């Protein structure tokens, strides 16, 4: 086996593709004895609605609470499947850049595991996919997971 990974980042957004990427990341982390970093990005509504963001504060907090619960489930699943270290992150911002430039872990990310597509089909049509951006802008290796893990 060539590369050995110590810190693996998987980006999840609730889509089938990202859940397949999550399952693949678990396998790789277990096989390498690596830490698994699970990232969910809540895109800030201000990116689209400007000043309406202020009135959407409660909605954003509700989204965060819901996503934090989902992350607890993912963490439990990874631990149950044999991953030794699991870290979860729910962040606000722009998914492309937060994934590609992830700096929350103490050690650099060796591998990013990401689904080929996610929930944001409109953006993919207009400016290119999050996955393509990550592949072209990160320093880490990237594994793009197709339909089935």
| Residue 37 located in a structural domain | yes
CATH number at residue 17: 3.40.50.620
In a domain, 16, yes or no: yes
| Count of domains for the chain | 1
The verdict on residue 118 lying in a domain is: yes
Distance of CA 33 to the CA centre of its chain: 20
Owner of token pair 């698994």: 36
Element (H, E) at 88: strand 85-93
Q: Examine residue 26 and state whether it is found in any structural domain, yes or no.
A: yes
In a domain, 122, yes or no: yes
Report d(CA 97, CA 100) in Å as an integer: 5
Helix (H) or strand (E) holding 65: helix 57-80
Do the domain assignments include residue 2? Answer: no
Per-residue H/E/C for 13-54: CCCHHHHHHHHHHHHHHHHHCCEEEEEEEEECCHHHHHHHHH
Does residue 1 belong to any structural domain of this protein?
Answer: no
Range of the domain at 64: 7-145
H or E element: which one contains 57? helix 57-80
- Per-residue pLDDT reduced to its tens digit, 118-137: 555 554 444 348 888 999 99
Q: What is the per-residue pLDDT across 70-123, written as a single tens digit (0 to 9) for each?
A: 999 999 999 999 999 999 999 999 999 999 999 999 899 999 999 886 555 554
**For residue 132, which of 108, 4, 120 has the smallest C-alpha distance?**
120
Judge whether residue 147 has pLDDT over 70: no
């Amino acid at each position: 086996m060539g590369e050995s990974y110590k810190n693996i980042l998987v980006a999840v957004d609730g889509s089938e593709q990202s859940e397949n990427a999550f399952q693949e990341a678990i396998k790789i982390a277990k096989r390498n004895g690596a830490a698994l970093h699970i990232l969910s990005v809540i895109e800030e509504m201000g990116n689209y609605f400007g000043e309406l963001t202020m009135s959407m504060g409660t909605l954003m907090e509700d989204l965060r609470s819901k996503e934090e619960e989902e992350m607890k489930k993912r963490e439990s699943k990874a631990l149950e499947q044999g991953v030794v270290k699991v870290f979860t992150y729910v962040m606000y911002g722009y998914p492309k850049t937060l994934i590609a430039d992830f700096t929350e872990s103490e050690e650099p990310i060796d591998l990013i595991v990401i689904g080929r597509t996610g929930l944001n089909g409109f953006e993919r049509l207009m400016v290119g996919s999050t996955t393509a951006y990550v592949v072209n802008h990160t320093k880490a290796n990237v594994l793009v997971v197709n339909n089935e893990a």
